[in-house]
Structure 1
Amino acid sequence: MASSLLQPSSSSLFAGNLRALGLVDHSRARLSVPATLKCDMSESSNLVNGKPIIPVLNERTLPKFMESARAQNSVRNSNRLKLFSGTANPALSQEIARYMGLELGKISIKRFADGEIYVQLQESVRGCNVYLIQPTCPPANENLMELKIMIDACRRASAKNITAVIPYFGYARADRKASISYTQGRESIAAKLVANLITKAGADRVLACDLHSGQSMGYFDIPVDHVHCQPVILDYLASKTISSSDLVVVSPDVGGVARARAFAKKLSDAPLAIVDKRRHGHNVAERDHDTSMVMNLIGDVKGKVAVMVDDMIDTAGMPSSVLKLEPKLFPVLFGTIAKGAALLHEEGAREVYACCTHAVFSPPAIERLSSGLFQEVIITNTIPVAEKNYFPQLTILTVANLLGETIWRIHDDSSLRMLCLSLSILSNAEADCECLSMVQSFAFIIMNAEADCECHC
């Protein structure tokens, strides 16, 4: 008999209390192909090259949990708080603003014929705490430069504090000189360089989601608030009726074992499996060069529902014939996570789910992910996905409420520790702590920003 993915004592607490606050509501937040948030172009009068600078969400498509959050947050101190959106992900910026009960600041962003970027703030920010929402997703260089120019504009306009809200931090994978066979040495550490550029531009703080590696936080010489989007995905999985005894969490490579293990602990301490692969170069696995090389699976997935967990899905490729699969079933080239999924099917997995925070989706990732390997591909909206790239298995969860609440707490000089602690307790099926009674309602944690846990669990 199917049971909840989390144990009952934890699942009801985790899912129910998060929804009580409005941080997640997947009945509304899930952006699937037939029902997605649309930008109402007719409501914007500020046009650049015939396109609105900041699209406005149509009220008819506004998720219900955002409407309730607007009234809830109206009592909070919004004095001297300004939100501005870049052009990388205006839809997410609008969702964050709606959750916070605020309007996005007026800003003009243009690109000249030679590709140079022009930014002008169209309202005063003197003495304000400014939050600039701009992921450095593809095109990474364009969006990164735009963010730096926005920061510079705010600094020259006498903003008191400037926080760069970067849902997806590009160049995060270039966080060290790799010490593996294909590396020739003399490499740059671009993550540190980008951190320096953002700092020198004038940012006072960075808010980022699920960095590729924790060490990237140390590259900044300014405070970094690192938000984990894992609870949003966990809450969605908890709403599905999958027997916990049938579940296995899979890391698509050895480097993601720690992430997958943490994810598995929050899913009733599910068993862990690992796909062991080897690489010859960037975005290229050994099996792309040498068909005699095999991907090894560590763990048992036969007859189970496999949940593959990674921080991002990018791209890679190899012929399906190399995996000894039926060509009629999988006629396309497979990427890193797709190759792992094919191996799981080969080893007898009943269903395969893919979960990640950042959907980079470099071509031809869409073709590979929609090939039929996955029961569902679950991502968040830290990176916008073009409507033309939607496919039936795709589910997009919003992180706007999580980011909005984090911004509120930064602005109020409240601790983020209790926000992270309560999410950890609520999502951990094995949590057993004397302070658990403190978080019977997640709203209690949020409304009592200075609350603290004496046992430091």
Structure 2
Amino acid sequence: MPNIKVFSGTSHPDLAQRIVDRLGIDLGKVVTKKFSNLETCVEIGESVRGEDVYIVQSGSGEINDNLMELLIMINACKIASASRVTAVIPCFPYARQDKKDKGFFDIPVDNLYAEPAVLKWIKENIPEWKNSIIVSPDAGGAKRVTSIADRLNVEFALIHKERKKANEVASMVLVGDVKDKIAILVDDMADTCGTIVHAADRLVEAGALKVYAILTHGIFSGPAISRINNACFEAVVVTNTIPQDGHMRDCPKIQCIDVSMMFAEAVRRTHNGESVSYLFSNVPY
């Protein structure tokens, strides 16, 4: 593919390699290092003059450092006279974002959504999916669960939770009937996993036959892995927007959806001036 370069930051080189493999190109040459005072230094190792440049950087690990590295890489490519730098193609979970969200950036931004991959996983891996109910672990996720439930033609429910403080849920109230259903919890990300574990327990108490969790970004910090190992989940499914190999080794319940094809196709369409939104309105389920 001519006139295109894809560079990887240090946060998730495996995802970047998967993307360029699908595009049939090599990763761009870049050296990232830190000075003795921990200042980040980025050196672009090849010409990007007149090229479209894409930078792959995940919000995982040392998030502040990774963000700074991304900004430095953007600046370095701009100085090197790339014709266009598309550095931000965020992966949001399900509901479409409003166009005004793009005002945060002064470069082209296309939001990608995990919904197509999630629907595919459900149909291929949950034999009883037609007897499922899609559940949001909080009221704020109502849009995403209704979108998936509508696509699957199944019911949805939500859990209203009250917090005493961050990462500590005081009470949970289930709104919806999950009795004798396969409950599929859907959320945008999981950090310490206290909320989804409590939610899973609440669903079992309410009569759910099985409980799955599908989470776009699996951060899994602190006690998350031990909580999942001891919880009643059939599976906890995440995408590889964040590296998951270590988590999967430590927790057999964690399964991973590869979204590199979605990113690669978004890069190809953006490079060719095609609609990225077409990606999501024409995905076979």
Regarding TM over 0.5, the answer is: yes
| Residue 376 (structure 1) aligned with residue 235 (structure 2) | yes
Q: How many residues align?
A: 281
Partner SS state of residue 266, structure 1: helix
Partner SS state of residue 239, structure 1: helix
The match for 2:224 among 365, 370, 392 is 365
The match for 2:196 among 327, 337, 340 is 337
| Residue 412 (structure 1) aligned with residue 269 (structure 2) | no
**Take 2:37 and 2:94, find their aligned partners in 1: how far apart are those partners?**
33
The match for 1:402 among 245, 258, 262 is 262
Greater Rg, structure 1 or structure 2?
Answer: 1
Shift of 1:386: 4.6
Alignment of 1:150-189 (within 5 A): 150-164=73-87
Match of 1:283 in 2: 167
Alignment of 1:96-175 (within 5 A): 96-164=19-87
Partner SS state of residue 14, structure 2: helix
Partner SS state of residue 225, structure 1: coil
Percent identity, aligned pairs only, is 40
Match of 1:210 in 2: 92
Deviations 1:214-252 (A, max 9, x none): 354343344320111111121111113533452111110
In structure 2, relative to structure 1, the CA distance for the partners of 1:153 and 1:211 (3 Å cut) is farther
**Take 2:93 and 2:183, find their aligned partners in 1: how far apart are those partners?**
24
**Take 1:259 and 1:350, find their aligned partners in 2: how far apart are those partners?**
23
Shift of 1:369: 1.3
TM-score by length of 2: 0.93
Opposite residue 272 of structure 1, the aligned amino acid is: F
Give yes or no for contact 1:132–1:163 (8 Å, CA) kept in 2: yes
Opposite residue 340 of structure 1, the aligned amino acid is: A
Match of 1:85 in 2: 8
In structure 2, relative to structure 1, the CA distance for the partners of 1:393 and 1:236 (3 Å cut) is same
Deviations 1:272-314 (A, max 9, x none): 11111012333332x1xxxxxx311111111211000011111
In structure 2, relative to structure 1, the CA distance for the partners of 1:137 and 1:217 (3 Å cut) is farther
Shift of 1:130: 0.6
Match of 1:354 in 2: 213
**Take 2:18 and 2:261, find their aligned partners in 1: how far apart are those partners?**
8
**Take 1:245 and 1:134, find their aligned partners in 2: how far apart are those partners?**
37
| Residue 239 (structure 1) aligned with residue 133 (structure 2) | no
Give yes or no for contact 1:211–1:226 (8 Å, CA) kept in 2: no
Shift of 1:126: 0.9
Give yes or no for contact 1:151–1:162 (8 Å, CA) kept in 2: yes
RMSD across aligned positions (CA): 1.7
Give yes or no for contact 2:190–2:217 (8 Å, CA) kept in 1: yes
Partner SS state of residue 201, structure 2: helix
**Take 1:386 and 1:112, find their aligned partners in 2: how far apart are those partners?**
29
**Take 2:230 and 2:129, find their aligned partners in 1: how far apart are those partners?**
27
**Take 2:209 and 2:93, find their aligned partners in 1: how far apart are those partners?**
31
**Take 1:219 and 1:241, find their aligned partners in 2: how far apart are those partners?**
38
Deviations 1:341-393 (A, max 9, x none): 01011111111000011111121111111113100011100011252553111
In structure 2, relative to structure 1, the CA distance for the partners of 1:211 and 1:373 (3 Å cut) is closer
**Take 1:405 and 1:144, find their aligned partners in 2: how far apart are those partners?**
24
Match of 1:310 in 2: 187
In structure 2, relative to structure 1, the CA distance for the partners of 1:123 and 1:223 (3 Å cut) is closer
Shift of 1:92: 0.3
Match of 1:295 in 2: 172
TM-score by length of 1: 0.59
Opposite residue 336 of structure 1, the aligned amino acid is: T
**Structure with the bigger percentage of strand:** 2
Match of 1:440 in 2: none
Structure 2 unaligned spans of 5+: none
**Take 1:305 and 1:282, find their aligned partners in 2: how far apart are those partners?**
29
The match for 1:274 among 152, 158, 165 is 158
**Take 2:203 and 2:137, find their aligned partners in 1: how far apart are those partners?**
10
Higher relative contact order (CA 8 A, sep 6+): 1
**Take 1:389 and 1:227, find their aligned partners in 2: how far apart are those partners?**
24
Opposite residue 117 of structure 2, the aligned amino acid is: V
Deviations 1:416-435 (A, max 9, x none): 23222102xx33xxxxxxxx
**Take 2:131 and 2:45, find their aligned partners in 1: how far apart are those partners?**
55
Partner SS state of residue 311, structure 1: strand
**Take 1:211 and 1:262, find their aligned partners in 2: how far apart are those partners?**
11
**Take 2:132 and 2:277, find their aligned partners in 1: how far apart are those partners?**
30
Give yes or no for contact 2:132–2:182 (8 Å, CA) kept in 1: yes
Deviations 1:14-49 (A, max 9, x none): xxxxxxxxxxxxxxxxxxxxxxxxxxxxxxxxxxxx
